Amino acid sequence: MPLGIFGGTFDPVHLGHLRLAEEAADSLGLAGVCWIPAGQPTHRAQDAKLPRVTAADRLAMVRLATAGNPRFTVDAGEVEAAVPSYTVPTLERLRAGPAGTRPRVLLVGADAFAGMPGWHRWEELFTLAHIAVAHRPGFPIDAASLPPALAAHYRERRAESPALLAESPAGRIVTFAMTQLAVSATQIRALLANGRSPRYLLPDSVIAYIRSRHLYTPSPEPSAP
Ligand code: ATP
């Protein structure tokens, strides 16, 4: 059975992520889903008014959120490396490890998929993993609305049946429907920054962690350099 790979910033992890991974495991017939929090996201400007949420905090929140689900594992490799994460080198690291040639399926939301041509060495992705694209509110998945280079891959590699994912180690693209949840980490950070409740958008254990560490709330005084 193929293994799902789910990378993200998870700043913080929320129910959209959890349902994506759970529904992917069911509909794509995955052996499990390996969550890989990014080390240092390069693309995300830090809001100067908010305290910095460390990679270690994001990793801890993913561990809390996924605890108790036997299909989920967490890979801390990118956080421990403490350097910017790029998906292709991450997949190469997995290929070099145990069970290197097993089929792997990179799980992405429709917004992340459309942005793939901006990723470092993006076309090598197709030699390292299959891609499974989850529908996300506001982000249609169709060749006409994708960047042309990605649309060409989409047309060529699209597989209608997830059963095909088990037949080769990499190179196919599938889409899958998931419960549509218009939740985002951006929305949760904004709620917390404004003193509003994020309850029912992310697990209670993660909210308790955020509260205990005073994450995502404006600091009363400038933080030390
Ligand atoms: P932010 O709002 O900070 O950009 P995010 O909520 O999009 O964050 P990420 O950690 O950037 O979360 O996303 C990791 C992966 O999860 C991406 O592939 C993204 O498309 C997907 N994803 C996040 N939220 C959803 C959702 N509500 N539905 C479907 N996919 C989602």
The DSSP result for 111-180, as a single string, is: HHHHTGGGSTTGGGHHHH-EEEEE-BTTB---GGGS-HHHHHHHHHHB-S-GGGGGGSSS--EEEE----
pLDDT value at residue 83: 79
Overall average pLDDT of the 100-110 stretch: 94
Pocket, ligand 1, Cβ cutoff 6 A:
8-11, 16-17, 20, 108-109, 111-112, 134, 136, 181, 183-186
Identify the helix (H) or strand (E) that includes residue 210: helix 204-213
- Distance between CA atoms of 102 and 95, rounded to whole angstroms? 8
Overall average pLDDT of the 23-41 stretch: 93
Domains and CATH numbers, the chain: 3-182 (3.40.50.620)
CB 82 within 8 A of CB 55: yes
User: Of 118, 178, 124, 115, which Cα lies nearest the Cα of 146?
Assistant: 115
Q: What is the pLDDT of residues 124-134, one digit of tens each?
A: 999 999 999 99
pLDDT value at residue 218: 76
Q: What is the pLDDT of residues 181-206, one digit of tens each?
A: 999 999 999 999 999 999 999 999 99
Q: Is pLDDT above 90 for 172?
A: yes
State the distance from the centre of ligand 1 to the C-alpha of 19, rounded, in angstroms: 11
**CA geometry: angle 128, 78, 201, nearest 5 deg:** 95
| Residue 20 three-state SS | helix
State the distance from the centre of ligand 1 to the C-alpha of 13, rounded, in angstroms: 9
The end-to-end CA distance of the chain, in Å, is 48
Q: What is the pLDDT of residues 132-169, one digit of tens each?
A: 999 988 888 989 999 999 999 999 999 999 999 999 99
